[in-house]
Structure 1
Amino acid sequence: MLSAMGLGGGGILLLYLTAVQGVAQLKAQGINLLFFIPIGGAALIMHTKNKLICWKIAAPAILCGIAGSCLGVLVSSKIGSQQLSKLFAVFLMFISAKELIASFKHKN
């Protein structure tokens, strides 16, 4: 149900780790990345094997993603876990509102 609303497994894992297990936001994000990297790598290998990736588009996106990840690590290490949790909550609310508004626009 949640994935149908645009919240993927990573978001659910973060919510579970922080809200239910009491894990600090930064640590929870690290755990989330540990799950994502091997799964993303396997998907990349399979899609490359099936010739489903346009590398002219994918290569710049991958490079920007790596740069953004590095920047995110630097920023998140400078702010506390509580601020990071609050920023993540605001981000989720913003994305949720955006998706909700978009769903009403597509119905009309």
Structure 2
Amino acid sequence: MTYVVTESCIKCKFMDCVEVCPVDCFYEGENMLVINPSECIDCGVCEPECPAEAILPDTESGLEQWLELNAKYSADWPNITAKKDAPADADAHKGEDGKFDKYFSAEPGEGD
């Protein structure tokens, strides 16, 4: 098992999860984070920290595409180990539906 970041993170990117991860397995894209499934130790401390409720265990049904996306982009995007400020409009996008189709970007973030 591993945890995965899902669509709810897109355009929110609160980063509370980054601060608590003991193995630094988060990677930063332009407008979302992902978890490297090979590095995640399944401790679960990140899940309750996410204000957008974007982090879920991959054992929940329907998350296969998110597991693939997390694996793919964690190999390409830079590692992030320190919390940064969330985007100014993060709260406006919290809970919004259809964010992947509207806003997903394959571009990397800045990382640490």
Query: Please, what TM-score do these two structures have when normalized by structure 2?
Result: 0.31
Larger radius of gyration: 1
TM-score (norm 1): 0.31
Bigger strand fraction: 2
Structure with greater proportional helix content? 1
RCO greater where, 1 or 2, for CA within 8 Å and sep 6 or more?
2
